[in-house]
Amino acid sequence: MHHKLFSREELQWLIVLCWLAAVIMCIVYLPHAGKPFKIENSSDPSAESAIAQQIMKKEFPYSGSRVVMLYKSNSVSAYDAGFKAQVNKSLAGLKKLDFEYRIISPYENTRQISDNQRVAYAVLETDRISEDLANSMGRINTLLGEPRNLKLYLGGDAAYTADINRLSEENLLRGELIALPICLVVMIFVFSGFLAALLTILVGVINITIIITIIYLLGHQIDLTVFVLNIATMLGLGLSLDYTLIITYRFREEYPKCHDCQKTMRITLRTACKAVFFSGLIVLISIASLTFFPINILFSIGIGGIVVVLVTVLSSVTLLPALLCLFEKYVTRSNPKLKRISSEDARQHRWYQFAMLVMRYPLSFMIPTILFLLLLGYPFLNAKINISDAKILPAWTESRKVFDQFNKSFNVNDMAPINIVLQSTRNNILSKKNVGAIYDYVERLKKDSRVDRVISIVTLKPGLSKQMYQQIYSTSPLPFDEYQNKIFKSMAKGKYTVISVISKYSKDDKRNFELIDTLRFQGVGNGIVKNVGGLSAEIIDTMNIVYHLFIKVLIFISVFTYLALVWLLRSLILPLKAILMNFLSLSVCYGMLIFIFQEGHLAKLLHFQALGFTDINLPILLFFVLFGLSMDYEVFLLTRIKEFYEKTGDNAKSVAYGIERSARIITSAALVMVVVTGAFVTADIVFIKAFGLGAALAIAIDASLIRLVLVPATMGLLGNWNWYFPKWLDRILPKLNFHQ
């Protein structure tokens, strides 16, 4: 019944006008597309580290976003009167801010002055979230002014958020401007004509416009990461061009045989559109599986992926067929000069011969190829997992400069302590027994060889005994100076207090993880309960949650994909082989990510600095996105092979003919996807750059060595076992015939 939608010209125009109306309505929102997205809340809200952070934000003042103001001189000491006067004058300008804040000056805490005394930093502490404070960074920069003879840099989570937001929008536009013209040129050579190529690009632009608008509207209802726009645009453009390429190519292939648009469209809908539908279904389930993860960046891209697949598949089976019917005479034309260059017949003949050669010597092709792919994936065994920080930004951004200077001049762990939130279950946290229990607990912490120092309510005045602290907290007012009073107010309230443990090791060091495990196991005493938080604790919690869920979700999408392919291909063997091939291509992607971005190979060529780690979300994100995308080419190839097998019943000839007819289109579709994802390698944010390159590498390997070498090799080796399907299952499962 679907083909009847395109039986009359009026219906075709109605479909096109509906899509154009949707695009016109969406254009209004495009200038504001980046507004509602966030970077915060990247961890599971039910994790212990997240609970600790929630308590701190709720109970203690100024536990929200911070701005680090770093002052640097090449010649003058931070203790010099002129240096100090300029810092104080600069900080005084912040009095005009219209929200609550407090400032920790380097002259209140001398640890905020570097050992060489040339660098000092102040901290602006607020109750605001980083997205809100990021919007005030311009105002803060203006109020701070330009200190005479000093260099001022702004960093911290708010500055980091501001840089991420700005670069995300710039990288998104740059990626599209690079990808679209190159894809148009590729399409022109694939179709040997301009209009057919232009139609595919037009559908892609329409899809991207609608996808961005839907995600923008969703961003006002649910928390979505700022990265969702870049990745959704990348996926949307790539999938759209892939699907339109497959359908348009099949339409042009069948048209000379039928010389009738309606008959051609019926065949196209029964073959290519059916393959696109099943491919989209598998991609949808794979990417939608990310929504099972309570990690915001994974959940967000899962939501974005659902929007991408629904829009691209819907346009591919409605808008594109309508356009093909309306412009059939122009779409089916080929430029003779381009036709000679592309030479379809010669290419098809070579692919047929190559497939027969591979099937004649399957082990000779299969074993070296598998060993080569495993070698490329080997570096993943050295993966070092961490949470992204300012290192994913280019060195010229201001927040990255502060990050690098801080690492050089100060103890970086001072800005990333392990926070232990204590809660009294009986009375005020400052009761005599509670203070005694906390004092004993802190003394035990100090004796741990992995601990550098401890900041708590019982370390504010060094050298005091337990009894002295118990006496202090039983009197009023407290005998603290101004700085000590600031720290106390940020550490104790009602039934709560927080202890900050400064580790000797970096946040992703194995010994630091072991320290957190120890802290979580130790008791405090007197019925006091605790939650351990901080960046290191967040890494541990995120790893535990992600990889615990990963196994379950992996089994789910593997089973679903297997069942969908069993129904589509009517084989128990081919779907299993397809899934194993997917895992093989993904291992290459993972290995190359470690080799390039963690270890820094090709860093100069790709314009980034080696991270030394792999973001915890990146392997999970790439797996679920690429599992679906890689299955695209498997579906396109195997459905074509299945089509010939239904006609001939000959396994070898079906494989050879299937590759002959689909190798060119699979290579072209993969080239388009590589161009789209590869365009984002130009991104300034390393996370986006790594995702783009990882996707491009996986797709290139998948469409070449996997589909065009391993598929015919394994199918030649298995012979008729490829099509093993029990008769009882054949009777009860609805048939999906591909013959015309």
What SS3 class is residue 531?
strand
Q: Taking the alpha carbons of 639, 644, 647, 651 in that order, is the dihedral positive or negative?
A: negative
Asked if the structure places residue 52 within a domain, the reply is no
Contact 542, 295 (CB under 8 A): yes
pLDDT of residue 157: 87
Half-sphere exposure in the Cβ direction for 56 (13 Å, CA): 26
Cβ atoms within 10 Å, residue 728 = 8
Q: pLDDT at position 35, please?
A: 65
Predicted pLDDT of residue 33: 66
Give the end of a domain, one of 482, 501, 533: 533
Q: Which residue has the tokens 């809908």?
A: 269
Torsion of CA 672, 673, 678, 683, to 10 degrees: 110
Q: Are residues 152 and 223 in the same domain?
A: no
| Same domain membership, residue 686 and residue 670 | yes
Strand duo 492-493 + 101-104: pairing = unpaired
pLDDT digits (tens, 9 = 90+) for 150-177: 999 999 888 888 888 888 888 888 888 8
Max Cα distance, the chain (Å): 98
Same domain? For 583 and 728 the reply is yes
Same domain, 593 and 607: yes
Strand 496-503 relative to strand 492-493: parallel, antiparallel, unpaired? antiparallel
CATH code where residue 251 lies: 1.20.1640.10
Whether 592 and 725 share a structural domain: yes
| Residue burial 575-588, b: 16+ Cβ < 10 Å; e: rest | bebbbebbebbbbb
Q: CA 38 to CA 129: how far, in whole Å?
A: 10
Question: Is the residue at 44 inside a domain?
Answer: no
Q: Which residues of the chain have pLDDT under 50?
A: 1, 3, 337-338, 340-347, 740
**DSSP for residue 649:** -
Q: pLDDT value at position 340?
A: 46
Residue 539 covered by a domain: no
Domain range for residue 142?
65-161
Residue that finishes a domain, picked among 342, 358, 380: 342
Indicate if 390 and 422 belong to the same structural domain.
Answer: no
How many CB atoms sit inside 10 A of residue 170's CB? 13
403 part of a folded domain: no
User: What pLDDT, on the 0 to 100 scale, is given for residue 595?
Assistant: 93
The number of domains in the chain is: 4
Both structure tokens of 39:
């970077």
Dist CA 541 CA 550 (whole Å): 14
Residue 675 confidence (pLDDT): 87
What pLDDT is attached to residue 343? 44
Contact residues for 679 (Cβ-Cβ < 8 A; gap 6+): 174, 175, 176, 178, 179, 182, 692
Task: Quote the pLDDT of residue 207.
Answer: 92
Point out the domain boundary residue: 105, 140, 161. Answer: 161
Predicted TM-score (pTM) of the model is 0.83
Considering the domain architecture, whether residues 693 and 565 belong to the same structural domain is answered as yes
Which is nearest to 373 in space by CA: 704, 717, 627? 704
Torsional class of 45: left (φ above 0), alpha (ψ -120 to 50), beta (otherwise):
alpha
Taking alpha carbons only, the member of 297, 305, 386 closest to residue 557 is: 305
Looking at the structure, tell me whether residues 688 and 558 fall in a common domain: yes
Q: Using CA atoms, how far apart are residues 125 and 102, in angstroms rounded to an integer? A: 5
Residue 96 belongs to a domain with what CATH number? 3.30.70.3400
Is 250 in contact with 272 (CB distance < 8 Å)?
yes
The reply to whether 42 falls in a domain is no
H/E stretch holding 155: strand 151-155
Tell me the three state secondary structure of residue 2. Answer: helix
Torsion of CA 580, 629, 631, 376, to 10 degrees: -30
Domain presence at residue 503: yes
Token pair in block for residue 66 = 């911070």
Question: Could you tell me if 627 and 555 lie in one domain?
Answer: yes
Q: Give the count of beta carbons closer than 10 Å to the beta carbon of residue 5.
A: 18
Does any domain span residue 225?
A: yes
DSSP 267-279: HHHHTHHHHHHHH
The one-letter amino acid at 696: A
Q: Identify whether residues 465 and 607 lie together within a single domain.
A: no
Query: Looking at the structure, do residues 595 and 726 belong to the same domain, yes or no?
Result: yes
Same domain, 607 and 733: yes
Report the C-alpha gap between 173 and 233 in whole angstroms.
Answer: 10
In a domain, 498, yes or no: yes
